[in-house]
Chains A and B, each alone.
Chain A
Amino acid sequence: EVQLVQSGAEVKKPGESLKISCKGSGYIFTTYWIGWVRQMPGKGLEWMGIINPADFDTTYNPSFQGQVAISADRSISTAYLQWSSLKASDTAMYYCARQGFGGYFDYWGQGTLVTVSS
């Protein structure tokens, strides 16, 4: 069974750093890209970027380029989303998802809620 399991909720202060994770299982991790999607409170879905765990090739939405970093560790089938300096506006639910061959997200993690508040 394909599963993506994300790390738990985080509460951080502005300016702090954070790295959240997404562990894949039930399939060959390097065969599919992994993407990240932001959902701000009460709002819609925003495509942030994707990573190919096979060669670490990464594509970012220009809106998020430079604001976050996407990485992966093939040895533990895990993808990451990282911030070096959080802002209050980063408060959101973040989902990872497996990208199928047509670019759609066929399996999703349960989401990680990030709250940034002083």
Chain B
Amino acid sequence: DIQMTQSPSSLSASVGDRVTITCRASQIISSYLNWYQQKPGKAPKLLIYGASSLQGGVPSRFSGSGSGTDFTLTISSLQPEDFATYYCQQSYSTPHSFGQGTKLDIK
């Protein structure tokens, strides 16, 4: 199975900050990397698929990059509604494993 490792596990930032979360796969997964946002008590929401494609309705301040084994999610200017937990997921081979999550909270 492919292991997904996110860093950092938690992050404190302020409104307006630029934030980057990284995700590393234990083997090459091409661009089969997806990012989700989850707020407390809610289902996850797809933000980015295929490493860099923005899901419809997601604000353009979210962007994704990378291929192979190393990927990043960047939020260009944090908004109050962005404080949440973020997960990466590989969909290269089953089981389509998730990273452990990165909790982003207010500094």
Whether A95 contacts B44 in the complex (CB less than 8 A), given A103-B32, A104-B49, comes out as yes
| A108 x B43 contact (CB < 8 A) | yes
Nearest residue in B to A45 (C-beta to C-beta)? B98
Give chain B nearest CB distance to A90 CB in angstroms: 18
Give chain B nearest CB distance to A101 CB in angstroms: 10
| A100 x B1 contact (CB < 8 A) | no
Nearest residue in A to B101 (C-beta to C-beta)? A44
| A47 x B49 contact (CB < 8 A) | no
Contacting residue for B49 out of A62, A100, A111, CB 8 A: A100
Within A45-102, which residues are at the interface with B (CB < 8 Å)? 45-47, 49-50, 59-63, 95, 97, 100, 102
Contact residues in A for B100 (Cβ distance below 8 Å)? 44
- Rank and list the top 6 A-B pairs by shortest CB-CB distance, nearest first: A103-B91, A61-B95, A108-B43, A104-B34, A104-B49, A45-B98
Residue ranges of B at the interface with A (Cβ–Cβ < 8 Å) = 1, 32, 34, 36, 38, 43-46, 49-50, 55, 87, 89, 91-92, 94-101
